[in-house]
Chains A and B, each alone.
Chain A
C-alpha cells in the first residue's frame, strides 16, 4: 500500500515534469516565431492550443501548480505583468473542463467553436487586467492579429496531432 503510494507520487511527478518540459518548449517556440516577418505584429498562442488539446482531446489533467509556474515563466520571458499569464492559463484549463455546449453535434466544427469561446473569453479577462494595470489602451491591430492567427492555426495543430496519433497507432499495431 505504502509502496504504491510512493510509486504514484513519483509517477505523477515524472508525468508532470514531462508535460512541463513540453509546454516550456511551446513557450519558447512561440517566442522564437516572432523573428519571422509574418509574425512581426504578434505570434499565435501555441500554448493555449496545446493546453486545450491536452485537456479536452487527450484527457490529460495538467497540474494547476505547473500552469501557475509556466505563467510566471511566460511573464518573465515576455516581460508581461506578473501573474496575468498564469491567470490566463488557469482560466483556459478551467473553462475547457467546465464549459459545455448544450447542442452537442459530432462535427469537426465543435472543437473549433469550443476553443474560440474559451480562448476569446480568457483572453478578454487578461486584456482587461492589462488595461487596468497599465492604465492605457494598447493598439488593437496586434491583439486582433494574435486572436485571428491563433484561431486559424488551431485546426492545423489538431490535424497534426491527429496524424501523429494515427501514425503511433499504426506503428503499435
Chain B
C-alpha cells in the first residue's frame, strides 16, 4: 500500500543528502544531550530565560479562558458546594478545638524530652509560566532563578504538598521536574504503617510504588510523605494518597493538582547533612543512625520487627 517512491521534483532529490545530514545531526544531539554537559544546560537555561516572556504572553489568554470555564462550572454546582462547605466548617471547628489541646500537649512533651526545634525553612515563591502535561517530560517553568537564590536540587512545594525539585536554573527562571515525571523518584514513607518506599512518576496521573517490602500491607487512602532518605528532600512533605487500581495494584495519587498549579514555593535553606545529624524528628524511623533509642517496630540493629505494623 505504501511505497517509498521519491517524488519527481528535482529540488527534493538534491535535498536528500542534506536531509540525511540533518537527521544524523539530530541523532548526535540526542546522544550529546544525554551526557548532560554544563554547556548544554547553560544554553537551555539561557533559552528558557529568553523565551519566558513569550511563553507567558501566549499562555495568558488560554489561562484566562480556563479560569472562566472553571468559574462557569463552579457556578452550576454552587448550591451543593455551599452545603458541603457548611458541613466541612462544622467538622473543622471540632477538629480545631481538639488540635489546640494536642498542640499544647505536644509542646509540653517536647519540652520534657528536650527535642531540638525543627529548622524553619526559608522559602521563595514564584509564578508558574508553563503548564505541565507533556507526553515525554513533565516539567514547569517558574519565574524565579539564580538571582533569587535558586539552585539545582532545591525542593518545590505548594500548599497541598510536594511539587518536585529544581533541575535547571537560569538567571530569572527555573525548571522544576514534577513528581509525576518518569525521571522523578522520591523516597517516601507510609504514614499509617511507617514502611519506607520510593515513588516513581509515570508521566501520567499516578505514581508507581517501588522498593516496598513484601511484608507491607497497604491501605487504600493511606497518606504518603517524603521520608528524607538520601538527604535530597526534607522529610514530612505530603506526596499523595494510596489508591487501588482495577487490576488490584496500588498506586499513589499526588496531593497536588498539577494542572491548576499557579504558584510554587522553593525551599532554599534545606541542609540535608544538618537535618540528618542534628534533628531527627521521627518521620523516618529507618533513617535512625544508632539503635540506642528504642523505636516502635524496630530492633537495635535497625531492622523491622515482624508483626509490628501499625494499622489504622
Q: Please, which residues of chain B bring their CB within 8 A of the CB of A117?
A: 2
A148: interface (CB < 8 Å): no
B32: interface (CB < 8 Å): yes
B72 to chain A, nearest CB (A): 12
* Structural contact, B54 and A28, CB atoms closer than 8 A: yes
| Of A5-13, A63-71, A152-160, A162-170, the one touching chain B | A63-71
Query: Which residue of chain B is the closest to A43 with respect to CB atoms?
Result: B133
Knowing A32-B59, A36-B65, A61-B11, say if A141 contacts B204 (CB, 8 Å).
Answer: yes
Q: How far is the CA of A81 from the CA of B135 in the complex (A)?
A: 12
Taken residue by residue from 110 to 140, chain B's Cβ proximity to chain A (1 for < 8 Å, 0 otherwise) reads as: 0000000000000000000011111111010
Q: How far is the CA of A80 from the CA of B259 in the complex (A)?
A: 19
| Chain A positions 69-108 with a Cβ under 8 Å from a chain B Cβ | 71-73, 75-84, 86-87, 90-91, 93-94, 97-103
Q: Please, which residues of chain A bring their CB within 8 A of the CB of B2?
A: 99-102, 117
* Structural contact, A83 and B22, CB atoms closer than 8 A: no
Q: How far is the CA of A34 from the CA of B59 in the complex (A)?
A: 9
* Structural contact, A139 and B204, CB atoms closer than 8 A: yes
* Structural contact, A39 and B133, CB atoms closer than 8 A: yes
Q: How far is the CA of A64 from the CA of B183 in the complex (A)?
A: 31
B76: interface (CB < 8 Å): no
* Structural contact, B30 and A81, CB atoms closer than 8 A: yes
A134: interface (CB < 8 Å): yes
* Structural contact, A37 and B47, CB atoms closer than 8 A: no
B198: interface (CB < 8 Å): no
B12: interface (CB < 8 Å): yes
| Chain B positions 165-181 with a Cβ under 8 Å from a chain A Cβ | 167-168, 175, 177
Knowing A28-B54, A64-B18, A142-B204, say if A100 contacts B130 (CB, 8 Å).
Answer: no
Taken residue by residue from 192 to 208, chain B's Cβ proximity to chain A (1 for < 8 Å, 0 otherwise) reads as: 00000000001111100
- Range of interface residues on A (Cβ < 8 Å): 35 or more
Q: Please, which residues of chain A bring their CB within 8 A of the CB of B132?
A: 34
B63: interface (CB < 8 Å): yes
* Structural contact, A138 and B34, CB atoms closer than 8 A: no
| Chain B positions 1-51 with a Cβ under 8 Å from a chain A Cβ | 1-7, 11-12, 15, 18-19, 22-23, 25-30, 32-34, 40, 44, 47-48, 51
Taking A36-B69, A64-B15, A82-B30 as known contacts, 19 extra A-B pairs with beta carbons closer than 8 A to each other, sorted by chain A number, are A28-B55, A32-B58, A35-B66, A39-B133, A64-B22, A73-B47, A76-B48, A78-B134, A79-B134, A79-B168, A82-B40, A82-B44, A83-B28, A129-B30, A134-B182, A138-B204, A141-B204, A142-B204, A146-B135
14 A-B residue contacts at CB 8 Å?
A: A36-B62, A37-B69, A42-B134, A64-B19, A77-B48, A77-B51, A79-B134, A81-B30, A86-B22, A87-B27, A93-B19, A134-B136, A138-B136, A141-B204
Chain A positions within 8 Å of B, measured between CB atoms, are: 25, 28-29, 31-37, 39-43, 61, 64-65, 67-68, 71-73, 75-84, 86-87, 90-91, 93-94, 97-103, 117, 129-130, 133-134, 136, 138-139, 141-143, 146
